[in-house]
Structure 1
Amino acid sequence: MAKRGKKTPPRRDPYQEREQAKYDNPIPSREYLLEFLAAQGRPLGRREIAEALGLETPDQHEALRRRLRAMERDGQLVRNRRRGYLIVDHSELVRGRVMGRPDGSGFLAPDGSGQRIALSPRQMRCLLHSDRAIVRITGHDEHGTPQGELVEILERGNRQITGRFFEEHGVGFLVPENKRLHHDVLLSADGRGGAEDGELAVAELLAQPTERRQPIGRIVQVLGRHIDAGQEVEAAARIHGIPMEWPEQVEAEVASLDEEVAEADKEDGRVDLRRLPLVTIDGADARDFDDALYCEPTAKGWRLVVAIADVSHYVQPGSALDAEARTRGNSVYFPRAVTPMLPEALSNGLCSLNPHVDRLCMVCDVLLQGNGKVLRSRFYRAVMRSAARLTYEQAAAAVLDGDPQARAEIGEELIGHLESLHGLYQTLRRARQRRGAIDFDTTETQMRFDESGRVTAVEPTERNDFHRTVEECMIVANVCAAKYLRKHKVPSLYRVHERPSEEKLEQLRGFLAEVGLQLGGGDEPTGLDYAEVMRQAKERPDRHLIETVMLRSMQAAEYRPDNAGHFGLALEAYTHFTSPIRRYPDLIVHRGIGHVIDGHKGSSFPVSHDDLLTLGEHCSMTERRADEATRDAEMTLKCEYLAEHLGDELNGIIAAVTSFGLFVELEGVYVDGLVHITNLESDFFHFDAVGHRLVGDRTGKEYRLSDRVRVRVARVDKDDRKIDLEMIAHPVDAEGNPVGGGKQSSRRKGKSSGSRRRSGPEAGAPPSSGE
């Protein structure tokens, strides 16, 4: 008879086969232990767990001890004061990534889905931005935002911090350049590394912050007083903690690789596609080619072959290469430079689908109907030989413009396949519109440099139909990969883009009501509802304003093991399969597909749901980190460029409205500068968050998102990457001439709904909806 109060263990461990394959002396899996502890309804100590599960030998006890410690480290379990184990769930105890704010407060972004949990400056005393932690929800504020207190720090996110060295009263300290890091780093007397006051330096942390003490470090590298031309990449990477050097173990593994694909690897059960005229189509400055395409018409529609570099063949789980790729998470594309996820021998060599050489690949072979619907798809490993390396401009000139020279350079045989690709694109484009995928008209830019490395121009990037052709083909392959993973029940990472939050929807609807528009769909609008609003706004003079506000209502896309669909693309399931050279989640997807190709059951894929939950959060973080670092590097270069235009008057568009002023995007330069609220008229301005405007209390003068203005470049700070502007005229026409006397608010004085309210630093993060 069971002892009183003791519950029997749950069902048989569903992951027993996986554990037996991995370990000589297996014990219950993590998933089973969590299920068992949940069934008990109370904390249990290690000996109680071992007894209940029938673990008797010393080896089993030691294995259980290590597993429980690992589950603590990963945030699945915590121990109470009586040493009993508690499950970390999403009702009270929550684990996730700490995100700092410049004011010293922060929030915890939970692993997977869930509302962000606010952390007060007091709770942030012993935390730094990018740490991983467990917090307890203690209540909610008046807006319904959960408030948290720190329970345990799981992982420190900063080993080095880059900032400016200062000395006051004999005490040396480093002020971080990353404004999310709110602690100054104290430096020991012998840890100043020769830095002088005001110089930019890199400090290695010797001690992390505690409740009573700031972090302590020592300077290991001095970068200089200013970020000069050519240093912007290293400075941005250091500031945001992006690895720049390869560990010795990685270099040793790379040195052991052959320069060419081994003959034995080509014949290892692979389909031979070397006679199929696959081509790569990329930007003119691309150096790594991870996808190649082929298309032909069929009786019912189209056959599309998407061949992706087989990175999983070379980067094996448990290797130093894999560990470093996971740490980096993705490649970072700076102006003029790349910090790759994989060493150049792989990213530009063995794993790059260079023309006229044999390469290993993973293939998504798809048959589509004439309306763009997928009939069936299959995945297989292959060996290929790219028939040509084309640029978007070459393909467009040959197919869209019919340029004789471009057609002759490409060759008539390939021209036919390119025309088929473009025909398929037109079909996929119509299918995209029917299902309600959202297309925002955003402008991307590129910089032009002179021989000395200085920026000579910032120009908009022109996209043609072959940019979109490649994108649509990649989307097809990604959708098929997601379907394959779900069909075979393979644990993996999905690219999840959830619909806008209730708060953002409420704000959007309030704004649209003010401009005479309405968003349909009730509490759960679809992409079609968004598309309808954009259709109605297409011919309006305030179209740019409406599209901008709608874009900022969207959430950011993330990597998660639990599929929740992709709102922006209007897809039920979506993953990333097409870029394993530069994105670690794609490598995980390739391994999952390869696991099934090799004849294994999807459920035996040796990666747990919890591992994927943590990995997805990590890769989402490295993606955000890359975006922030790239923006910093670009802003450094743009400040350098604009420093030569001090005092110039330029036209611009109000790109963001905050409680402290207006950010204006300068036309022809595509740089944002700040018109501080103190540089506006002599008035008290209220910030209307719903209407995205500042409204004068006395004059009723109104500055609104997307208004055209004329400003003067007043100050450029290259070190802080800041541009200050002065308002010359508002509003103005396309030539910069003043129009009218300025807009008047329709509200009564002082009744603006968002008076004095301030936007958070994470507000309005745009989604990755054009993936």
Structure 2
Amino acid sequence: MAKRPTKPPRRDPYQEREQAKYDNPIPSREYLLELLSAHGRPLGRREIAEALELESPEQHEALRRRLRAMERDGQLVRNRRRGYLVVDHRELVRGRVIGRPDGAGFLMPDGAADGTGGRAAAGRGGTSRISLSPRQMRSLLHSDRAVVRVTGCDEQGQPVGELVEILERGNRQITGRFFEEHGVGFLVPENKRLHQDVLLSADGRGGAEDGELAVAEILAQPTARRQPIGRIVRVLGRSIDVGEEDEVAARIHGVPIEWPDGVEAEAARFGAEVGEADHAARTDLRHLPLLTIDGADAKDFDDALYCEPTAKGWRLLVAIADVSHYVRPGSALDAEGRTRGNSVYFPRSVVPMLPETLSNGLCSLNPHVDRLCMVCDVLLQGNGKILRSRFYRGVMRSAARLTYDQAAAAIVDGNERVRGALEAPILKQLESLHRLYQTLRQARERRGAIDFDTTETAMRFDERGRVVAVEPTVRNDFHRTVEECMITANVCAAKFLGKHKVPGLYRVHEHPNEERLEKLRGFLAQVGLTLGGGDAPSGLDYAAVMEAARQRPDRHLIETVLLRSMQAAEYRPDNAGHFGLALEAYAHFTSPIRRYPDLVVHRAIGHILDGQRGASFPMSHHDLVTLGEHCSMTERRADEATRDAAMTLKCEYLADHLGGEFEGVIAAVTSFGLFVQLEGVYVDGLVHITNLESDFFHYDQVGHCLIGERTGKEYRLSDRVRVRVARVDKEERKIDLEMLAHPLARPGSGGKGSASKRRGAKGSSSKGSSSKGGGGKAGASEGGGDQEGGAARKGRNQGGRRKR
């Protein structure tokens, strides 16, 4: 007789939530995972029902459906004996598939580091991605979700996996070029991470001609024995016309463009003005001179500020558009907002997360009109430390819509013409905000937040829509003022979630992992510097290195390598702090118009404001793990799409300079060549290794350089060079350069040793190697932390405010 399963170790802590959601509730997913983990062996459905003491047929049916749903979501898998096993981050791992052009790939595990199904831990501050061979990738495409079994490690010690189950397909349509060979039509994806061509039936070619760009709907996903099958639903043409760069980049990377049926109509039903009934139970802030400060071409204003001095320091109000009042769970608006994950800011257009009737209208804090808001009301000490904060729903009326340049001209520059155009209460507000910024800036430096001096650019177009210049954007004190106020509100939101034990999404930026720290320390040793902090360096340790390098000629090189040692930030329901900002807890609260995680945080805060308990919040931990992974993916997708669109425009601009000579800086070193950023135009191109001297080059990964074996010639990150534009391919988004002179001026190491003395450094060797790296393509630079500039920031319509 089978041994009777033991009872679960404790009562279901989420019983209240389940009772609110269902008429005949059964134990939660979290409790089922705990039950299975406690038994330590697979259990069949009948054993689980017996352990839970379920009796009625309705409860048994609910259990069957829940187990199937957990299996579908990758929390559980069934073995051959129909027993359920927990996907528990040790052997079975679920996550997102990331493809590579060579046909291999890897699985990026989901964000939770516990038994709810997620991360393959790899030491402090890091998660090992799991390598997938080309054979395992036959059934998969980039952006699919899957469960894999860890089967061992490769030569570098990285885990290797085999496919167990496909959870979700990530590609419904694929954009690529149509070709026909021997009567067989196929589509070659433009996204190089999609490694398989799409086969097209004779009646599925949609009138496309050889070499034309087209969009194919996937009719059958790939299997171990067959490529994906599709049919063309739209032909885009042979070349990308002026003005089409954004749409093409969006389609290549799967950014949703069209609104599904009913979404825009649902948004329009709210009307254009806030009704009196919506004011009920809200704090009236319309008497306060709240200000919005954004870029000159901004259209959606999601935050407004008010500041006043107090006896002990400052009172700061950060009022954020109350999107949650309009976008409710279960609505068509909510479903599409979740799918999109975020707005995407292209060089000349925006793909919004929400329809413009909301994002630029009713939810935008436009001047001199009533708007609903969620308010973070903070009291700060004179040294910038948060004394206490509270959240409440309000109704406000923005007193003025200001730009960063306008505010800086009035307060920092003291421009009398600008000051004279502003009312006294507005000037007083700007002066208070600027004084508060100086306090917050000092507090930021004391805690060790990392602040890299990176160059961000914007494009200038002529009346025909062609790029006439690529220019650096200049951040002034009011960019930083608004940023510090937003960071303060985000910190308060994270603390609120933790205090009330309400589930939500944190913005997590982990410590650099062991592998990255080892490479960083190896590099710093070569230039005579050291990084303190042992296995867990802090932002203060990074800041000490940056300070030591401040007066060195190779400062840019050192800062670049420091930046690339950092990990990317993610959305997770489990708080692990924010390394780059040196904060113990951080959540995104300030942009619900354009980021879905912020909307979730608003709902979590509103849940408590409505008198509910954290345990009854309708989203489970698993829901938030999956949502966090999805939103992290849509953020990466947006970055890749915007980089592609920008690179297309830069290629178009540089095509008029074919054969031109430029000075530039080596921005990245790879085994197949050098990426050079051209001075004055801020465009990256590739000097392929075959265009260097006739020598056998070693790639020193630690030293970030190529070293000639015979000549000892070195090409190092941050070296200044002179190059010629040899080829520009707008369709492939590649720029090839020829080396003319190197180095023009080499930064001194200021320390021990030089690359020529490191001939034996660990690395790869290359001479004329054929690489799929091709020409200078967007995204050449490596690594990255959460200093998210460029395509990852708020974008052209928001004046370059950084996204943390």
**2:667–2:781: 8 Å Cα contact kept in structure 1?**
no
Letter of the structure 1 residue corresponding to residue 740 of structure 2: I
Distance 2:633 2:765 in 1: 31
Measure the CA separation in 1 of the matches of 2:68 and 2:758.
62
- CA distance in structure 2 between the partners assigned to 1:62 and 1:297 by the alignment: 61
Alpha-carbon separation, structure 2, partners of 1:189 and 1:316: 45
Matched ranges for 1:680-759 at <5 A? 680-733=692-745, 745-747=755-757, 751-756=760-765
* CA distance in structure 1 between the partners assigned to 2:512 and 2:350 by the alignment: 33
- Answer yes or no: is 1:52 the counterpart of 2:54: no
Q: Which of 624, 635, 641 pairs up with 1:623?
A: 635
- Residue in 1 that maps onto 2:251: 238
Cα displacement (A) at 1:40:
2.1
Q: 1:745 to 1:61 in 2, by over 3 A?
A: closer
SS state at 1:21 partner:
helix
Whole-Å separation in 1 of the counterparts to 2:54 and 2:613 = 28
Distance 1:745 1:477 in 2: 46
Aligned residue for 2:393? 381
Taking structure 1 as reference, are residues 97 and 400 closer, same or farther at Cα in structure 2, changes over 3 Å only? same
Instruction: Pick from 371, 376, 381 the counterpart of residue 369 of structure 1.
Output: 381
Q: Are residues 1:11 and 2:23 paired?
A: no
Higher relative contact order, structure no. (Cα contacts within 8 Å, ≥ 6 residues apart): 2
Residue of structure 2 aligned with 1:517, choices 529, 533, 537: 529
Look up the match of 1:334: 346
**What amino acid is aligned across from residue 757 of structure 2 in structure 1?**
R
Residues 26-105 of structure 1: pairs in structure 2 closer than 5 A: 26-105=25-104
Give the alignment of 1:168-247 within 5 angstroms: 168-247=181-260
Q: Match of 1:607? A: 619
- The alignment status of 1:119 with 2:118, answered yes or no, reads no
Alignment-derived partner of residue 282 in structure 2: 270
Q: Is the 8 A contact 1:561 1:616 kept in 2?
A: yes
Q: 1:586 corresponds to which residue?
A: 598
Alignment of 1:263-662 (within 5 A): 263-266=276-279, 268-662=280-674
- Mapped to 1, the partners of 2:166 and 2:211 lie a distance apart of 32
CA contact (8 A) 1:702 1:744 kept: no
- AA in 2 matched with 1:713: V
Paired position in structure 2 for 1:764: 782
Deviations 1:328-370 (A, max 9, x none): 0000000110000000010001100000000000000001011
User: What one-letter code is carried by the residue in structure 1 that aligns with 2:174?
Assistant: I
| Structure 2 CA distance for aligned equivalents of residues 682 and 611 of structure 1 | 56
Q: Counterpart of 2:203 in structure 1: which amino acid? A: D
Q: For residue 208 of structure 1, report the CA deviation from its aligned partner.
A: 0.3
In 2, Cα distance between equivalents of 1:11 and 1:733? 68
Secondary structure of the residue aligned to 2:676 is strand
CA 1:339–1:470 in structure 2 vs 1: closer, same or farther (change >3 Å)?
same
Is the CA contact (8 Å cut-off) linking 1:700 and 1:744 kept in structure 2? no
Give the partner amino acid of 1:754. Answer: G
Q: Which digits, 9 at most, give the CA deviation of each residue in 1:84-116, with x for residues without a partner?
A: 111110010000000011111111010015311
CA drift of 1:519 comes to: 0.5
- Alignment partner of 2:757: what SS? coil
Q: Deviations over 1:711-743 (max 9, x none)?
A: 000000000000000000001149xxxxxxxx9
Kindly provide the amino acid, as one letter, of the partner of residue 500 in structure 2.
Answer: H
Give distance in 2, aligned partners of 1:273 and 1:721. Answer: 50
For 2:354, the aligned partner's letter is L
Amino acid in structure 1 at the alignment position of 2:743: P
8 A contact 1:659–1:759 mirrored in 2 = no
1:216-250 Cα shifts (integer Å, max 9, x gaps): 00000000111111000110000000000111121
3-state SS of the aligned residue for 2:138?
coil
Measured in 2, the distance between the counterparts of 1:31 and 1:478 equals: 28
One-letter identity of the residue aligned with 1:389: R
Shift of 1:759: 12
Per-residue deviation, residues 405-463 of structure 1 (Å, max 9, x unmatched): 11122212210110000000000000000000001010010000001100000000011
The alpha-carbon distance between structure 1 residues 744 and 344, as it changes in their structure 2 partners (threshold 3 A), is same
Aligned to 2:721, the other structure's residue is in SS state strand
Whichever residue aligns with residue 419 of structure 2, its letter is: R
1:143 to 153, 156, 163: 156
1:13 & 1:60 partners in 2: Cα distance? 16
Secondary structure of 1:379's match?
Answer: strand
Question: Shift of the alpha carbon at 1:756?
Answer: 3.0
Distance 2:81 2:503 in 1: 35
Residues in 2 aligned to 1:255 and 1:484: alpha-carbon distance in whole angstroms: 33
Aligned-partner Cα distance in 1 for 2:411–2:611:
42
SS at match of 2:625: helix
Q: CA offset at residue 747 of structure 1? A: 2.7
- The secondary structure found in structure 1 opposite 2:102 is coil
Mapped partners of 2:11, 2:449: distance in 1: 44
Distance (Å, rounded) in 1 between the aligned partners of 2:597 and 2:411 = 34
SS in structure 2 at match of 1:466: helix
Given the superposition, is the C-alpha separation of residues 506 and 763 from structure 1 closer, same or farther in structure 2, using an over 3 Å criterion?
Answer: farther
Instruction: Report how far residue 251 of structure 1 moved.
Output: 2.3
Contact 2:697 2:707 in 1 (8 A): yes
| Conserved? CA contact 2:16–2:615, under 8 Å | no
Query: SS state of the match for residue 471, structure 1?
Result: helix
Q: What does the per-residue CA deviation read over 1:251-293, in whole Å, with 9 as the maximum and x for residues that have no partner?
A: 2312322111111001x21000001000000000100000000
- Quote how far apart the aligned CAs of 1:5 are: 4.9
Give me the whole-angstrom Cα distance separating, in 2, the residues matched to 1:481 and 1:8: 38
Q: Give the Å deviation of 1:13.
A: 1.5
Which stretch shows the higher mean deviation, 75-84 or 377-386? 75-84
Look up the equivalent residue of 2:206 and give its one-letter code: G
1:744 deviates by 7.8
CA distance 1:8–1:372, shift in 2 (3 Å) = same
Output one character per residue of 1:517-574: Cα deviation in whole Å (capped at 9) or x when no partner: 1111111100000000000100100000000011000000000011000000000000
Letter in 1 for 2:784: P
Secondary structure of the residue aligned to 1:248 is coil
- CA shift, 1:142, in A, is 2.4
Greater shift in the superposed pair: 583-592 or 408-417? 408-417
Distance 1:314 1:580 in 2: 11
Distance in 1 separating the partners of 2:59 and 2:216: 43
Matched-pair contact (CA < 8 Å) for 2:714–2:756 = no
Cα distance in 1 for partners of 2:764, 2:395 equals: 63
Return the letter of the residue paired with 1:315. Answer: V
Cα shift at 1:3: 6.1
Shift of 1:401: 1.1
| Identity level (%) | 79
C-alpha separation between the residues in 2 aligned to 1:9 and 1:487? 27
Letter in 2 for 1:84: G
Deviations 1:108-163 (Å, cap 9, x if unpaired)?
01001531111111110000000000000000122210000000000000000000
Counterparts of 1:105 and 1:555, CA distance in 2? 22
SS of residue matched to 2:47: helix
Alpha-carbon distance between aligned partners in 1 of 2:671 and 2:245, rounded to the nearest angstrom:
30
Instruction: Tell me the SS of whatever aligns to 2:724.
Output: strand
* 1:9 Cα deviation from its structure 2 partner: 3.2
Question: What's the CA shift string for 1:287-312, capped at 9, x where partnerless?
Answer: 00000001111111111000000000
Q: Secondary structure at the match of 1:124?
A: helix
CA distance in 2 between counterparts of 1:748 and 1:599 reads 65
- Cα pair 1:495 1:575 within 8 Å, conserved: yes
RMSD: 1.6
2:166 pairs, out of 134, 153, 157, with 153
* 1:248 and 2:258 aligned: no
* Structure 1 gap ranges (5+): 735-742
SS of equivalent residue, structure 1 residue 730: strand
Could you tell me how far apart the structure 2 residues matched to 1:307 and 1:542 are?
43
CA distance in 2, matches of 1:595, 1:744: 59
